[in-house]
């Protein structure tokens, strides 16, 4: 029995890893391919914001789900401690007596082989299959393979395949820069955004696609306008424009749900509603939208709060909360009396704009004989008081 073993930190796992595994399988024709994420790689410290071993195992299973012949093993995760390949090979030998074990390694790991734990024992017990990582390293692989054969009697093969098109370190940089959605497998990317590992932030095109899919078609123009207005206000008042865009894109993701559906989400996320909210889908969509956005897209607290309070407002709102509240009100598709005054104030005195926006909101509710939420009433009192204090 021939068993090919492909190990690594997989931090994160990406299509290059899957491509390498496929190339090795095509060249080596093993009876079994085992992919093994390391619990604690001894040769390098994992970067900050990396997920724990169980999460990397989960991501690796997602990444290799399109390759059913690959078995993603938790052997090193369960063993814990530093992930020495020699220990893993010994476990596999015990589990598969008499099997020929082939160790798949990249150029970097091959050239480092003499520093591996119990490397002589490994070279006596496995076949090493080397994969090119960069253009032009084939000669280096060939020369070092010849050295290992001559010096240690090692059995080293060169798997002639195109170099890996990417690295995990490059992908971590992309994830921090709101990119990578078009590189990683969709399931892997979605999971990383949900957990926000690696300091990842969602690529805006990806976020819009997912958010717009949760809206009624007629609401998309409003959300686009809200995003543009939120970014403009954020730049005017010194807030983070990316956070403003993210909050605006997501602020209405549960808007189309009817009251019964809103209440089901409240139950799912443990949202305690008051008597007024229990009868109003319009009020609840801000609360359920914030909770769903956190669940699906891992939004941080400031974006959560901006979505949470964009309908009612509240006293002493954070700057991002005020920006989303006002952007929702003054985006280009809106048309109502005193709109231009509200737009002007939004760029000249944001607290006075809040007072006017809240006053207009209460006026509109009373025109339809709708009881306003207490948070809106309190917010208006707060911002009218702030305006009076500023005028003194």
Q: What is the pLDDT of residues 18-32, one digit of tens each?
A: 998 998 999 999 999
Rounded to whole angstroms, the Cα distance separating 103 from 113 reads 12
Question: Is the pLDDT reported for residue 11 higher than 90?
Answer: yes
> Which strand ranges, in their side-by-side order, compose the sheet holding 100-106?
70-72, 32-37, 2-8, 100-106, 127-131, 155-159
Q: What is the pLDDT of residues 164-177, one digit of tens each?
A: 667 889 999 999 99
Q: What is the pLDDT of residues 63-105, one digit of tens each?
A: 999 899 999 999 999 987 788 999 999 999 999 999 999 999 9
Across 51-72, average pLDDT: 95
Q: What is the pLDDT of residues 172-191, one digit of tens each?
A: 999 999 999 999 999 999 99
pLDDT of residue 141: 83
pLDDT of residue 391: 58
- Tell me whether the omega of the peptide bond preceding residue 30 falls within 30 degrees of 0, making it cis: no
Q: What is the pLDDT of residues 237-284, one digit of tens each?
A: 999 999 999 999 999 999 999 999 999 999 999 999 999 999 999 999
Say whether 155 sits in a helix, a strand or coil.
strand
Rounded to whole angstroms, the Cα distance separating 207 from 201 reads 10
- Interior/surface letters 49-67, b for 16+ CB within 10 angstroms, e for the rest: ebbebebbbbbbbbbbeeb
pLDDT of residue 107: 82
Question: Is the pLDDT reported for residue 143 higher than 90?
Answer: no
Q: What is the pLDDT of residues 284-299, one digit of tens each?
A: 999 999 999 999 999 9
pLDDT of residue 231: 98
Question: Which of 57-71, 143-157, 200-214 has the lowest average pLDDT?
Answer: 143-157
Rounded to whole angstroms, the Cα distance separating 104 from 17 reads 11
pLDDT of residue 164: 64
What are the DSSP calls for 306-375, one per residue?
A: HHHTTTT--TT--HHHHHHHHHHHHSTT---TTHHHHHHHHHH-HHHHHHHHHHHHHHHHHHTT-PPPHH
pLDDT of residue 192: 98
How would residue 135 be classed by pLDDT, with cut points 50, 70 and 90?
A: low
User: Looking at residue 114, what DSSP letter applies?
Assistant: G
| Phi, psi torsion values for 41, nearest 5 degrees | -60, 125
Percent of the chain with pLDDT over 70: 96
Question: Is the pLDDT reported for residue 392 higher than 60?
Answer: no
More confident residue, 45 or 24: 24
pLDDT of residue 165: 65
Question: Is the pLDDT reported for residue 388 higher than 90?
Answer: no
pLDDT of residue 140: 83
| 233, 319 Cβ separation under 8 angstroms | no
pLDDT of residue 144: 87
pLDDT of residue 45: 78
Question: Is the pLDDT reported for residue 200 higher than 90?
Answer: yes
pLDDT of residue 387: 65
Q: What is the pLDDT of residues 360-385, one digit of tens each?
A: 999 988 888 889 999 999 999 999 98
Q: What does the mean pLDDT of the chain come to? A: 93
Question: Is the pLDDT reported for residue 344 higher than 60?
Answer: yes
Question: Is the pLDDT reported for residue 150 higher than 70?
Answer: yes
User: Looking at residue 66, what DSSP letter applies?
Assistant: T
pLDDT of residue 232: 98
């Amino acid at each position: 029995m021939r068993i090919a073993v492909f190990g690594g930190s997989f931090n994160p796992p990406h299509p290059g890893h899957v491509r390498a595994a496929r190339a090795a399988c095509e060249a080596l024709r093993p009876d079994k391919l085992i992919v093994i994420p390391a619990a604690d790689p001894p040769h390098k410290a994992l970067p900050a914001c990396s997920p724990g071993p169980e999460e990397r195992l989960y991501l690796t299973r997602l990444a290799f789900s399109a390759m059913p012949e690959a078995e993603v093993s938790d052997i090193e995760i369960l063993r814990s401690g530093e992930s020495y390949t020699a220990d893993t090979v010994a476990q596999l030998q015990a589990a598969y007596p008499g099997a020929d074990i082939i160790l798949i390694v990249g150029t970097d790991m091959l050239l480092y082989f003499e520093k591996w734990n119990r490397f002589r024992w490994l070279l006596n017990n496995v076949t090493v299959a080397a994969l090119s990582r960069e253009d032009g390293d084939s000669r280096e692989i060939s020369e070092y393979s010849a050295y290992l054969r001559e010096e240690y009697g090692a059995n080293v093969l060169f798997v002639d395949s195109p170099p890996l098109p990417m690295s995990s370190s490059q992908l971590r940089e992309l994830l921090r820069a709101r990119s990578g959605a078009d590189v990683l497998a969709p399931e892997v990317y979605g999971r990383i955004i949900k957990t926000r590992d690696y300091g990842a932030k969602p690529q805006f095109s990806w976020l819009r696609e997912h958010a717009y899919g949760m809206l009624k078609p007629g609401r998309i123009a409003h959300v686009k306008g809200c995003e543009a207005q939120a970014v403009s206000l954020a730049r005017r008042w010194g807030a983070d424009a990316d956070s403003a865009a993210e909050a605006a894109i997501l602020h209405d993701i549960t808007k189309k749900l009817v009251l019964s559906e809103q209440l089901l989400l409240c139950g799912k996320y443990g949202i305690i509603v008051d008597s007024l909210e229990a009868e109003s889908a319009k009020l609840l969509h801000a609360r359920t939208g914030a909770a769903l956005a956190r669940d699906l897209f891992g939004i941080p607290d400031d974006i959560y709060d901006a979505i949470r309070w964009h309908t009612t407002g509240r006293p002493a709102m954070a700057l991002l909360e005020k920006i989303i509240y006002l952007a929702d009100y003054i985006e280009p598709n809106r048309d109502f009396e005193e709109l231009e005054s509200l737009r002007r104030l939004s760029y000249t005195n944001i607290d006075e704009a809040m007072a006017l926006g809240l006053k207009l909101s209460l006026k509109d509710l009373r025109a339809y004989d709708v009881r306003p939420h207490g948070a809106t009433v309190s917010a208006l009192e707060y911002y009218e008081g702030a305006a009076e204090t500023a005028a003194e």
